[in-house]
Structure 1
Amino acid sequence: MKGGHGGLMDSIYRRQRHIYDLSRKFYLLGRDGLIADLAPPPGGAVLEIGCGTGRNLIAVGKAWPEARLYGVDISAAMLETARKAVTKAGMADRVVLAQGDGCEFDAAALFGREAFERVFISYALSMIPDWQGALRQAARCVADGGKLEVVDFGQQDRLPKFWKQALFGWLARFHVAPRAELRQAFEGLAADMGGFPHSHVLYRGYAIRGGLIRV
C-alpha cells in the first residue's frame, strides 16, 4: 500500500498523526455522540473503518468494556500511532488492528470474522475517493440485526455562505470532500441490501449523522 490512496494518506498524516487527536477534537463534531449511541450487545463485535489513530476505538472500549474491537485503515503511519495508543490505553488484548482498503478489505482474512454487530465510520468517507464503495463494503460487514453508523461533514446548509466556502476550501487542502449525496446513499443501501436507513443533520448542517439497521 505504498502507492495509491494509501501512500497519499501516509504522506498527509506521517507528521500530522502526532497532533491529530489534539487538533481534530475542535472540529470533528458528533463522534462522541455516535460512540455513546453504539450500544453493542454484550460481547458484540465493533468495527471501525478508517480507524486512524485509534482514538475512537479506545473511546468505544471505555464506554462498552465487554465489546470486541476491530479497526481497519489504509494508512500504515496512522496504524503505527493507533497501535501505540491502544497499548498505552491497556487495550492491546481487546483491539485488533489491520491495514486494508476501506472499499474492498477481506474481513475474514484480516479479523477471522465476516460480520460485526456494529460498524462505524467517523469522518473517513469524505477522504475516500470511492466513498460509495466504502459505504457498501461497510454495510456488507454488518451482522443481521446490527447497525452501521456514520458521521461526517455536512453541507453547512444553515450556516453562512462564507463559512461553507472557507471550510470546504480548507478541507480540500487535505483531500477532504464532504459528500452531498450521503443521505441518498443511506436510502440506496437500504433498498439494495435490506434494512432501515436513518440520517439527520447536526449543528445547523455542519455534520451529518446517519446509517442503516440491518434486518
Structure 2
Amino acid sequence: MNTVSDHALLMDRIYRWQRRFGIYDATRKYYLLGRDPLLSGLAPPPGGCVLEIGCGTGRNLVKAARLYPQARFNGIDISQEMLTAAQAAIETAGLQDRVRLARADAANFDPQSLFGQNEYDRIFISYAVSMIPQWQRVMEAAVAGLSPGGELHIADFGDMQRLPRWFKSAVDTWLGWHHVTPRAELFEVSSELAATHGGTVGVQCLHRGFSWLVTIRKA
C-alpha cells in the first residue's frame, strides 16, 4: 500500500463518525477562525474558476458559491467520507450546476483530467496545510496552477506565540491527537514561492497568532 493510500485511509478513519453524526462542522466553527476572513478575501473575477484543496464537508464551497454567484467552483479531498458529506451539502444548497467535486491527492492530481480545467483564478486551502504531509509540494503545485494574476489563499493555525504558554501547549496537544501540525515555516515558504513565480505575498496574524492568513498573488 502506498503513502497516498495510507493517508487517505487515515483521513477516512478520522472523519467517518464525525461526518455521520454531524460533529465536524458543529465543533470546527469554534476554532477554525480564519475560514470566513479567507472567503471574504477571495473576490474571484466574474466568470472565474475557484479550486478548494481539502474541501472537507463542503461548508466553505457552499458559502463561497453564495458569496460569488458569478464564479464556478471545484473541490478536491483525499477522504471519501468528506466528499460524501460535501456532495450532500452542495445538493441541499442547490449548487450542483456551479460546484464540482472529485477525490484526489492534492500532492499529485491533474485538474484537466478531473475537471477539464488547466488553471484557476483562485485556489484556497482552509486548515488543510497543517494536515497534508507534502504541504510544501502542494503549495508549489497550487501556485503553478494559477492563471496570470491568480491568487492562492491559505488559512491555518499560526504559531500562537502571543497566547499564554499553557494555552498554546494545550492546543498543540489537542491538535496532535487529530494529526494536525501547524506549519511554523508557512510565511517563509510563502514568501519564497511568491519570489520564485515573480509574484507578491501578503500575510496576516489573527487572534494573537492563533490563526494565520496568507495570500500569494502570481505575476
TM range (shorter): over 0.9
Amino acid at match of 1:178: P
Return 5+ residue gaps in structure 1 as ranges: none
Taking the aligned partners of 2:12 and 2:5, their CA distance within structure 1 comes to: 9
Matched, 1:100 2:100: no
Amino acid at match of 2:180: V
Equivalent residue number for residue 177 of structure 2: 173
Taking the aligned partners of 1:75 and 1:194, their CA distance within structure 2 comes to: 34
Q: Tell me the CA shift for residue 185 of structure 1.
A: 0.7
Taking the aligned partners of 2:57 and 2:139, their CA distance within structure 1 comes to: 20
Matched, 1:13 2:15: yes
Q: Tell me the CA shift for residue 138 of structure 1.
A: 1.4
Q: Tell me the CA shift for residue 211 of structure 1.
A: 2.3
Q: Calculate the aligned-residue CA RMSD, in Å.
A: 1.2
Taking the aligned partners of 2:168 and 2:108, their CA distance within structure 1 comes to: 32
Amino acid at match of 1:71: G
Q: Cα deviation per residue 1:155-199 (whole Å; 9 max; x = unaligned)? A: 101100011100010000010000000000101101222211111
TM-score by length of 1: 0.97
Amino acid at match of 2:33: L
Select between 38-47 and 16-25 the one with higher mean Cα deviation.
16-25
Q: Cα deviation per residue 1:100-136 (whole Å; 9 max; x = unaligned)? A: 1111111111110121101000000000111111111
Q: 2:148 aligns with which of 136, 144, 148?
A: 144
Correspondences of 1:52-201 after superposition (within 5 Å): 52-201=56-205
Select between 138-147 and 76-85 the one with higher mean Cα deviation.
138-147
Return 5+ residue gaps in structure 2 as ranges: none
Q: Tell me the CA shift for residue 22 of structure 1.
A: 1.1
Q: What SS is found at the alignment partner of 2:41? A: helix
Select between 7-16 and 137-146 the one with higher mean Cα deviation.
137-146
Matched, 1:208 2:212: yes
Amino acid at match of 1:101: D
Q: What SS is found at the alignment partner of 1:38? A: coil
Taking the aligned partners of 1:102 and 1:26, their CA distance within structure 2 comes to: 26
Q: Tell me the CA shift for residue 3 of structure 1.
A: 3.0
| Deviating 4+ runs (over 3 angstroms) | none
Q: What SS is found at the alignment partner of 1:172? A: helix
What is the number of residues matched between the two proteins? 215
Matched, 1:3 2:5: yes
Taking the aligned partners of 1:181 and 1:130, their CA distance within structure 2 comes to: 13
